[in-house]
Amino acid sequence: MDGKRDVVLFRSKGESDRFEVALEGAGFATRFIPVLRFDFVNAEALRNALEHPHAYAGLIVTSPRAVEALVEAMAWLPSENVAWHSKAIFAVGPATASELKRVGFEPTGEESGSAALLADIIVDREFDKPLLFLCGRRRLEKLPKRLQESRIAFEELCVYETTERTDLALKTDVLPDWVVFFSPSGVDAVRLDGGWDLEHVRIATIGSSTADAARLSGLHVHAVARNPTPEGIAQAMAAADRALSI
Domain 5-35+167-245 has CATH 3.40.1160.10: no
* From the candidate CATH numbers 1.10.10.10, 3.30.420.10, 3.40.50.10090, 2.150.10.10, the one assigned to the domain spanning 39-162: 3.40.50.10090
Determine which of 68-72, 171-175, 213-217 has the lowest per-residue pLDDT on average: 171-175
The band of 15, judged by pLDDT with boundaries at 50, 70 and 90, is low
The more confident residue out of 245 and 44 is 44
Q: What pLDDT score does 1 carry?
A: 44
What angle, 0 to 180 degrees and rounded to 10, lies between the N-to-C axes of helices 93-102 and 64-74? 20
Q: Taking residues 216-244, report their average pLDDT.
A: 92
In whole angstroms, how large is the CA radius of gyration of the chain?
Answer: 19
**Domain positions in the chain:** 5-35+167-245, 39-162
Matching fold, domains 5-35+167-245 and 39-162: yes
pLDDT at 2 over 60: no
Pairing of strands 154-164, 223-224: unpaired
List 213's β-bridge partners, or say none.
Answer: none
pLDDT at 246 over 70: no
Determine which of 72-76, 85-89, 194-198 has the lowest per-residue pLDDT on average: 194-198
The band of 92, judged by pLDDT with boundaries at 50, 70 and 90, is confident
Q: Taking residues 145-152, report their average pLDDT.
A: 94
Under a CB-based contact definition with an 8 Å cutoff, are residues 157 and 134 in contact? yes
CA–CA distance from 196 to each of 59, 123, 173, 175, 231 (Å)?
Answer: 40, 43, 9, 7, 27
CA–CA distance from 209 to each of 113, 150, 176 (Å)?
Answer: 11, 22, 23
Mark residue 104 as left, alpha or beta (left: phi above 0; alpha: psi -120 to 50; beta: remaining).
Answer: left
pLDDT at 156 over 90: yes
pTM over 0.75: no
Quick check: helix, strand or coil at residue 59? strand
